[in-house]
Amino acid sequence: MGRMLLARLADVSEQVAATSARSRKIAVLADLFAATPPAEVPLVIAYLAGRLPQGRIGIGWSTLKDPVAPAGHATLTVAGTDAALTALAGVAGAGSRTERRRLVRDLMAAATAPEQRFLVRLLAGEVRQGALDAIALEGVAQAAGAPPADVRRAVMLDGSLPRVATVLLAEGPAVLERFRLAVGTPVQPMLAHTAKSVADALAALGPCAVEEKLDGIRIQVHRSGDDVRIYTRSLDEITDRLPEVRGVARDVAGDAFILDGEVIALDGAGRPVPFQETASRVGSRVDVATAAAARPVSPVFFDLLALDGRALLDLPGHERHAELARLVPDPLRVRRTVVTDPADPGQRRAAEAFFAGTLDRGHEGVLVKALDAPYSAGRRGRSWLKVKPVHTLDLVVLAAEWGHGRRTGLLSNLHLGARAADGTFVMLGKTFKGLTDEMLRWQTDRLRELAVSDDGSTVTVRPELLVEIAYDGLQRSPRYPAGVTLRFARVVRHRPDKPAAQADTVERVVAGPQSRVV
Ligand SMILES: Nc1ncnc2c1ncn2[C@@H]1O[C@H](COP(=O)(O)OP(=O)(O)OP(=O)(O)O)[C@@H](O)[C@H]1O
């Protein structure tokens, strides 16, 4: 198996985008993976989904737009492209702009016309195959002759499709046996759907638990003997940033376990502080001791995924919770109430009262969880439903306008996009409301890092930063591509912890709880 040519990948990327038939996409990808040297599989998966392993490489749109005569023959390999991008990312210091321009030109000159198109889209952040990873998984399964469900399970236990795909394609389906739940290997967390009300959630789920929805950061805490490791929802390790959580995990009277929960900063009265403060505490790597003293955080656990060498994922929720309750003492466990019979008016009232009480205590809503449901790692399961009084959307910042007056020098008015089926983003409106001075400063720094162009009034960015938006409904507007825009959109907070691929979709906005167009 020779090295994979970039031309092949560019062609497949176009074919996948061009067809809406899922089975066709999978077949095209299966052919590609069957021809990919296993070591290059992670790169191929990343490029197809529009991710650069180097992260940001700091080249602007103007550099990418430089016309360079394309090569006549396809010789550029995927591995060669990666090496060129690594070199680009490493350029620093005086003259780096010129040097970067030169390297981009060299790369473009080695590329054929279709490869150039692909590279420009990849580097500008325009390759956005939102659902690509799910389809890539099926493509890999087909190429390896393995049942997709087995591959999915391995990925959810290992946390990494590229890693599973590499060994699967190299060694064959028998290797899937090797992926077992392991302390120290993070699992993709289970996510929730939305319900309009507690009553709807009870009706949909039957016997269930109603839990506080804490407005913090999702964490997964692994312990094996004295070794404690903490991971985010995107499976990044953040053990060193949360010494107090490590301490709590060490004190738990158990030896080997994986806990799922939320970390949150509470004030003296036990009420949550604004989300931004928890997020910046969890996000800060420098001088952790000072940050921890100034803004201590506490973990609150709501699930137990493994205990003493047993995987608990397939147990019904109430059994996992019973194990959790034995392992973790009360204040470290999420508050909840159980509804065994949703037809019983008394229990329904108790659930509503719990929801109201949770909001009174300053939390953002509740999660309603079916008692009999297993833990569907990595999925937005139908058995967890979240209910919040204010409906919000998670949208992607596509661009931002420089502010005026008090906001001069700050990026203010945000252009907001929802996810479309083809992985691109559709602009739904703009807002500069709800932003505090601190949020303005923070977003200006972050958006500058993501900038691809600046015409002096508007900065276009790579579509990577999510913002949570509250709004009062939809309004017809021929100026926006979906024909509607958001009424009174305002920023609730930034969501740097949530990947852009999980932004709300246009369909959901248009069909959602506030879809009535006025
Ligand atoms: N009791 C709880 N059970 C499960 N998740 C909880 C709980 N309390 C807070 N959460 C948080 O809520 C999230 C579940 O909502 P969802 O899966 O929709 O993710 P999300 O998009 O981050 O939600 P949102 O944007 O509403 O915060 C979890 O990822 C977790 O961080």
Report domain extents, the chain: 6-175, 191-387, 392-511
- Tokens representing residue 299 in the block: 């973990």
Report whether pLDDT(518) > 60: no
Between the CA of 238 and the centroid of ligand 1 the distance, in Å, is 19
Q: Is 177 annotated as a binding residue?
A: no
Q: Which of 13-22, 129-138, 312-321, 378-387 has the lowest mean pLDDT?
A: 129-138
Tokens of 215: 């407005």
The Cα 158–Cα 164 span in angstroms is 7
308/255 Cα distance (integer angstroms): 7
pLDDT (average), residues 38-56: 90
- In a mutational test of the pocket of ligand 1, which residue from 187, 302, 375, 386 has the highest number of ligand atoms less than 8 Å from its CB? 386
Per residue in 88-98, pLDDT (tens digit) is 988 888 888 88
Residue 204 in contact with ligand 1 by CB distance below 6 A: no
- In angstroms, what is the span from residue 242 Cα to ligand 1's centroid? 20
- Please answer whether residues 364 and 388 qualify as being in contact, where contact means their C-beta atoms are separated by less than 8 angstroms: yes
| DSSP code per residue over 135-168 | HHHHHHHHHHT--HHHHHHHHHHHS-HHHHHHHH
The correct CATH number of 191-387 out of 3.90.79.10, 3.30.420.40, 1.10.10.410, 3.30.470.30 is: 3.30.470.30
State which H helix or E strand residue 7 sits in: helix 6-18
Can you tell me which atom of ligand 1 is nearest the CA of 211?
1
Tokens standing for 322? 């019973």
Q: Does domain 392-511 have CATH number 3.20.20.100?
A: no
Determine how many CB atoms are found less than 10 A away from the CB of residue 32: 24
Residue nearest to atom 5 of ligand 1 (CA): 213
Cα 162 to Cα 168: distance, rounded to the nearest angstrom: 10
Amino acid at 60: G
Q: Which DSSP category does 469 fall into?
A: E
395 close to ligand 1 (CB < 6 Angstrom): no
Q: What is the pLDDT of residue 124?
A: 83
386 is in an annotated binding site: yes
Cβ(330)–Cβ(342) under 8 Å?
Answer: no
Cβ–Cβ < 8 Å for 43, 31 = no
- What SS3 state is found at 485? strand
Task: Give this complex's ipTM.
Answer: 0.95
Euclidean distance between CA atoms 107 and 299, whole angstroms:
48
What is the SS3 assignment for 251?
helix
Is any atom of ligand 1 closer than 6 Å to the C-beta of 334? yes
Smallest Cα–Cα separation from 431: which of 371, 391, 472?
472
pLDDT tens track for 135-152: 999 999 999 999 998 898
Supply angle C-alpha 329, 330, 334, rounded to 5: 115
Q: Same topology for domains 6-175 and 191-387, yes or no?
A: no
Query: How far is the C-alpha of 53 from the C-alpha of 38, rounded, in Å?
Result: 17
CA distance 312 to 300: 19
Helix, strand, coil proportions of the chain in percent (round to 5)?
Answer: 40, 25, 35
Mean pLDDT, the chain, as a whole number? 91
Q: Which of 499, 422, 507 is nearest to 462 (CA)?
A: 499
Tracing tokens 């955080």 back to the chain, one arrives at 297
- Nearest atom within ligand 1 for CA of residue 213: 8
Structure confidence by residue, pLDDT tens digits, 208-253:
999 999 999 999 999 988 899 999 998 999 999 999 999 999 999 9
Supply the residue whose CA is at minimum distance from atom 8 of ligand 1: 213
8 A C-beta contact, residue 107 and residue 84: yes
pLDDT at 166 over 90: yes
Is 422 in a helix, a strand, or coil? Answer: coil
Q: Residue whose CA is closest, atom 23 of ligand 1?
A: 192
Query: Is the CB of residue 486 less than 8 Å from the CB of residue 471?
Result: yes
Pairing relation of β-strands 425-431 and 256-264?
unpaired
51 lines ligand 1 (CB under 6 A): no
With a 6 Å cutoff on the Cβ, whether 213 touches ligand 1 is yes
Q: Regarding beta strands 365-370 and 451-454, do their DSSP bridges make them parallel or antiparallel, or are they unpaired?
A: unpaired
Single-letter code of the amino acid located at 298:
S
For residue 513, pLDDT beyond 90 = no
CB-side neighbour CA atoms (13 Å) of 412: 14
Give the integer Cα–Cα distance in Å for 337 and 339: 7
The reply, when asked if residue 118 is annotated as ligand binding, is no
For the chain, percent of residues with pLDDT exceeding 90: 69
- List pLDDT tens digits, range 459-508: 999 999 999 999 988 889 999 998 999 999 999 999 988 989 899 999 88
The secondary structure of 86-101 as a DSSP string is: HHHHH--STTHHHHHH
Any idea which fold 6-175 has?
DNA ligase i, domain 1 (1.10.3260)
For 434-447, write each residue's pLDDT tens digit: 999 999 999 999 99
Does the beta carbon of 375 sit less than 6 angstroms from any atom of ligand 1?
A: no
Q: Which ligand 1 atom sits nearest the alpha carbon of residue 468?
A: 25
> What's the pLDDT tens digit per position in 444-465?
999 999 999 999 999 999 999 9
The tokens describing 249, both together, are 């995990």
Q: Is 498 in the pocket of ligand 1 (CB under 6 A)?
A: yes
Residue type, 16: V
Instruction: For residue 191, give the ligand 1 atom closest to its CA.
Output: 17
Instruction: Dump pLDDT digits (tens) for 273-298.
Output: 988 889 889 988 889 999 999 999 99
